Each structure stands twice: as C-alpha cells, then as structure tokens.
C-alpha cells in the first residue's frame, strides 16, 4: 500500500461505477424464452394432444315416409318430441286397405273352392277310367271267347260277330286311353294338394300383401329417438315414399371432429377425448375415438376432360382436414333433457397416450375453454 510523505496511507483509486442492466434486453430475453417454450409446447401438443374447434354433433337422421298412400286421419306426435320404438307417429285412412284384405280373403276362399272342384273332377276322372277299364276287360274276354269258338267250330259263330266283338274291344281300349288322358288333365288342373297348390299359394300371398298394406297404414317409430320437422295434420294426403317428418335416432350420436393431417399421426381408435360443448358451458365431457376417416371428397374431372389446377398464391397453403369420429355418452338422467342437438358445436382434444405434461396442460386449456363458453 502506497504511503504519503506524512506517513498516512495513500487513498485507493476510485472503482468505475457498475453499468445498470438494460431492462429492455432483460425482457426481450424473457419474452424470447417464453416464445420458444410456447412454440415447443405447441409443436409437441399438436402431435400428442391435438385440438380442434371444428367439431359438430352428428346422428342417424331418417326421413319418415309411409309405404302406402292415403289421407292422414290421426297425428300422435308433436314437433321435437321424444318417442319410443313402436310408438305410433301418425295414421292413414285404412278403409280401402281393409276392403283389400276382405277381397283377398274372398279370393283365397275362391281358390280353396276351385281346388275342391278340381279335386272332385279328379275323382270323377278316376271313376270314368275304372269304368272304361272294366268295359275293356269285358270286351277283351268276349273277343277272346268268340275267337276260340270260331277256331274250334267255324260254323258255330259267324265271322261278322267276331269282327263286331273285336271292334268293340278296340272301342273299349280307346275309351281307356281317353279316360287316362282326362285323368291326367284333371290332375294337372288340380295341381298340388292343400296349401301347396299354386292357386292357393297365390291367394295366400295376396291376402298377406293386403294385410301388410293395412298394417302399414299405421306409421310407427323405428326405435327410440326424436321426431322433428312435423308439419302435417288430419286431412293431409300422404303419398307412398314421401317424407312427412324426420326421425333422429338417439342411440347412436357421435361427434365429427375435423383435424389437420399432421394431427393424425398418433390418433388410434379408443384414445380418450375431452369435449367442451358450446351448449354446456363449464363442463368437460369425456369420450373416445371411434375411428379416423380414410378420405375426404375431392373433385375428380369428368371422363373426357382434363383436370383443372388451382394455383395457390399464398405463402402457406391451407391444411387439409380429415374427420375423426368421437363417441360420447351423457349421464342417463340427462339423455332426454340435454340441450345437445344434431349440429351442436364442440371443442375436442384427443389424448393420444400417456403424456403427463402435455395431457395436464391440455386439460387446463379445456377447463379454461369450458369457462369461456359462458361468454361466447
């Protein structure tokens, strides 16, 4: 240590003041690190917990159309009403169909009657054949007897009587042939016996068809579901095959979530799904992946024409999306009162495996979205 002349220690030289940290650089680094972390999380989450807001509820929608035509006499349901399998939806005037059943029954009775007459004809033909065969046998014996007498004593019997006996035999043989042909014709006309008879079978089919038409005059729900689009009343004419209302089956409701191609790599049927319905704010419903769509519609050029090329002028092209079908189930006590309808929108996230961090973050995001659905 340096000393001054008077013996006192010399003062140390002053240190340069420390430079103050630039807050702009500090926050720039923090924001940059956060951005990199968010980017890494997004790239990872987009693969293992893909999410989409392009999701809607779908169901089997069946147009309800009668199979017979007629005037509507009764409507048993209201618009947007829950119905059970077999419940009557509406009825068509069945008077002419009841008359059709009566006519078909009369035709069946006539077929049975005709079958009885044909059976009697067969019996008569059989009796005629037996009589002809007996007459033939008598004629044959007479001719044989006269021929033997003529051979033993030519003078005992004239040739004329022998010729007459032989002619009678030929006539009897012809009668047998005719009786056999008549019997075959009668049997052919009779056909099979009992209900196996073709005419009876045709009449039975006609009666069943008429009874079926009478039954079809009452239109019933095919299964449990909801009827909507009910715009008919008594007096309306309903044509066969013309839809009168729409039936929505409630036993098979699913969500179609449209995910980007690069989201599909790890998605498999059975993966767990989180669902937030716009109509059920504050709740996250669980579901499972049913299947991943194999393709989407593209415009193929007609035969004989060249394809049209759409030039993409943007820096980034739009991502192609594919449908992912998701099954979900509400609590039993909510199935009939739930506001979820066909076409309801939803936000969907797929948990593609055991990824604790990304799965936890995805659950937080879905919980936040479920709260935000109160506002929009």
CATH number assigned to the domain comprising residue 274: 2.40.30.170
Question: What is the residue range of 228's domain?
Answer: 66-93+217-242
- Per DSSP, 223 falls in state S
| Tally of structural domains, the chain | 3
* Residue 348 counted as domain residue: yes
pLDDT of 171: 78
* Dist CA 86 CA 221 (whole Å): 5
* Residue 87 counted as domain residue: yes
The model scores a pTM over 0.75: no
Same domain, residue pair 226 and 188: no
* Residue 121 counted as domain residue: yes
* Residue 235 counted as domain residue: yes
pLDDT of 269: 93
Same domain, residue pair 255 and 347: yes
In this structure, what CATH number is given to the domain that contains residue 227?
A: 2.40.50.100
pLDDT of 338: 63
Same domain, residue pair 55 and 118: no
pLDDT of 196: 64
Q: Which among 91, 81, 270, 116 has a CA at the least distance from the CA of 186?
A: 116
CB 66 within 8 A of CB 94: no
pLDDT of 178: 82
How do the pLDDT tens digits run along the chain, 376 residues long?
454 555 556 566 656 665 556 677 778 888 888 888 888 777 787 888 999 999 999 999 999 999 999 999 999 999 989 999 999 999 999 888 899 888 888 888 777 777 677 677 777 777 877 887 787 777 777 777 777 766 666 666 666 676 776 777 777 778 788 877 877 777 666 666 666 667 777 888 888 888 898 999 999 999 988 999 898 889 899 999 899 999 998 888 899 999 998 888 889 999 999 999 998 898 999 999 999 988 887 777 778 788 777 777 777 777 889 999 999 987 655 555 567 888 999 999 999 988 888 899 889 999 999 999 988 7
- What string of H, E and C letters represents the secondary structure of 181-230? HHHHHHHHHHCCCHHHCHHHHHHHHHHHHHHHHHHHCEEECCCCEEEECC
* Residue 150 counted as domain residue: yes
């Amino acid at each position: 240590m340096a000393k001054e002349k008077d013996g006192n220690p010399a003062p140390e030289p002053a240190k340069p003041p420390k430079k103050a940290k630039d807050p702009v650089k500090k926050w720039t680094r923090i924001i940059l690190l956060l951005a990199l972390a968010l980017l890494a999380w997004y790239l990872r989450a987009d693969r293992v917990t893909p999410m989409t807001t392009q999701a809607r509820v779908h169901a089997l929608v069946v147009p309800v159309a009668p199979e017979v035509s007629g005037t509507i006499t009764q409507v048993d349901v209201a618009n947007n009403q829950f119905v059970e399998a077999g419940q009557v939806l509406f009825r068509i005037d069945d008077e002419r169909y009841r008359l059709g059943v009566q006519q078909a029954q009369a035709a069946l009775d006539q077929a049975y009657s005709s079958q009885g007459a044909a059976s009697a004809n067969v019996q008569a033909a059989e009796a005629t054949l037996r009589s002809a065969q007996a007459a033939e046998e008598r004629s044959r014996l007479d001719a044989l007897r006269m021929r033997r007498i003529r051979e033993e004593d030519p003078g005992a019997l004239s040739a004329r009587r022998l010729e007459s006996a032989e002619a009678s035999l030929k006539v009897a043989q012809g009668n047998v042939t005719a009786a056999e042909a008549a019997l075959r014709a009668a049997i052919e006309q009779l056909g099979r016996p009992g209900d196996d008879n073709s005419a009876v079978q045709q009449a039975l089919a006609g009666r069943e068809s008429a009874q079926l038409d009478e039954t079809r005059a009452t239109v019933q729900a095919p299964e449990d579901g909801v009827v909507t689009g009910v715009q008919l009343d008594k007096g309306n004419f309903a044509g066969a095959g013309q839809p009168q209302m729409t039936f929505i089956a409630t036993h098979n409701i699913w969500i179609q979530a449209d995910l980007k191609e690069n989201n599909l790599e790890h998605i498999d049927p059975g993966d767990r799904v989180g669902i937030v319905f716009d109509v059920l704010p504050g709740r996250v419903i669980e579901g499972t992946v049913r299947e991943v769509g194999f393709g989407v519609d593209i415009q193929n050029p007609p035969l004989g024409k060249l394809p049209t090329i759409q030039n993409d002028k943007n820096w980034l092209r739009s991502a192609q999306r594919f449908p992912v079908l998701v099954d979900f189930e509400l609590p039993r006590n909510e199935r009939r009162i739930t506001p979820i309808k066909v076409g309801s929108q939803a936000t969907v996230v797929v948990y593609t495996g055991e990824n604790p961090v990304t799965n936890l973050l995805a659950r937080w995001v879905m919980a936040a979205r479920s709260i935000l659905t109160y506002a929009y």
